[in-house]
Amino acid sequence: MELPLSQAAFDRFRHFLHERTGIQLAPARKSLITGRLWRRLWHLRIASYDDYLNYVLSGEDPAETQVMLDLLTTNETSFFREIRHFDFLREHARQRRDLPGPIRVWSAACSTGEEPYSIAMVLDDALGSEKWQVVGSDVSKIALDAARAGLYPASALERVPPKYAQRYFTPHGTGGVGILTALRNRVAFKHVNLNSDWPIMGEFDLIFLRNVIIYFDLATRRRLIDRLLRALKPGGFLLTGHAENIGGINEELQNVQPAIYTVAAR
């Protein structure tokens, strides 16, 4: 049973979420808080949303902040989402095939792993098993645990090209599928809040920043894009979701295809 959420408590949640992750919750999204948190309050035997936030802020249970963030992030994703980006990646990999050094790709809000594994399949197919590295990161630890496990319902294969489905998945349990261990082991997963400090990860040829900045306000987007451009190799590419227009947000950005950007020479 859902508990009532006062406007004042909702504003406190919005402020907290924005401060910690950059996510800006629209004023009309009260139901997101109640819909996703009421079971947690019930589980903890806490009687109001205000009391729950006080509990989180008290630091009494440091892990609870992460639990709350896990519950409030939206992790919707799929294999080969926005397929044209993967055609671009395949073509880029083919052009780079004979050059030295690995292609490095960062899936910067990787959710439950479908995006970085799709990237890995394309690179493995185009380059063989050695000349590429894929890092997937997310602020949600629950999503990252699922990504590391690499287990999905068979329905997740819907948009996977059949030759990849055959080559990179194995049956799992009753009706499920798992990412082939050899491929799974090639993808590194890290816990990274894009709006906080990052671990040192080196520079990347491509950064997938898809379907995440849609949740951030303009100032947060601007700051993040500035930082990400510094993590791109010269001539590298930044890919956003097709609904996320970042044209004009940074004067170094050059749009090369819909939702694909590169950096003007520095």
Ligand X SMILES: C[S@@+](CC[C@H](N)C(=O)[O-])C[C@H]1O[C@@H](n2cnc3c(N)ncnc32)[C@H](O)[C@@H]1O
| Residues contacting ligand X: total by CB under 6 A | 25
41: enclosing H helix or E strand: helix 30-44
Q: Does 73 bind ligand X (CB under 6 A)?
A: yes
Q: In the annotation, is 11 catalytic?
A: no
Instruction: State the angle between helix axes of 84-96 and 114-127 in degrees (0 to 180), rounded to the nearest 10.
Output: 30
CB nearer ligand X, residue 114 or residue 205 = 114
**CB closer to ligand X out of 131 and 138:** 138
137 touches 102 (CB < 8 A): no
Nearest distance, CB of residue 45 and ligand X, angstroms? 27
Query: Is residue 193 a contact partner of residue 224, using CB atoms and an 8 Å limit?
Result: no
Report the residue number, 85 or 131, with the smaller CB distance to ligand X. Answer: 85
Q: Are 233 and 227 in contact (CB under 8 A)?
A: no
Does 75 bind ligand X (CB under 6 A)? Our answer is yes
Q: Does 193 engage in binding with ligand X (CB under 6 A)?
A: yes
Structure tokens at 174: 């009753």
User: Is 36 noted as a catalytic residue in this protein?
Assistant: yes
Please give the structure tokens belonging to residue 233: 């190799």
Q: Is the dihedral of CA 101, 186, 76, 79 positive or negative?
A: positive
CB-wise, 3 or 90, nearer to ligand X? 90
Minimum CB separation of residue 99 from ligand X in Å reads 27
Site for ligand X in 133-162 (CB under 6 A): 138-140, 143
Among 21, 118, 133, 240, binds ligand X (CB under 6 A): 21
Instruction: Determine the length of the chain.
Output: 266
In the complex with ligand X, the residue whose CB is nearer, 6 or 245, is 245
Q: Residue 195 interacts with ligand X (CB under 6 A)?
A: yes
Which segment (83-91, 95-103, 208-216, 253-261) binds ligand X by CB under 6 A? Answer: 208-216
163-198 burial: b if 16+ Cβ within 10 Å, else e? ebbeebbeebeeeebbbbeebbebbebeebebbeee
Of the residues 12, 36, 81, 159, which is catalytic? 36
Tell me if 25 contacts ligand X by CB under 6 A. Answer: no
Q: Hey, which residues does 134 pair with through a beta bridge?
A: 105, 187
Residue with tokens 């963030």: 69
Which residues are catalytically annotated?
36, 138
Q: Which residues bind ligand X (CB under 6 A)?
A: 21-23, 73-77, 81, 109, 111, 115, 138-140, 143, 192-195, 210-212, 215, 241
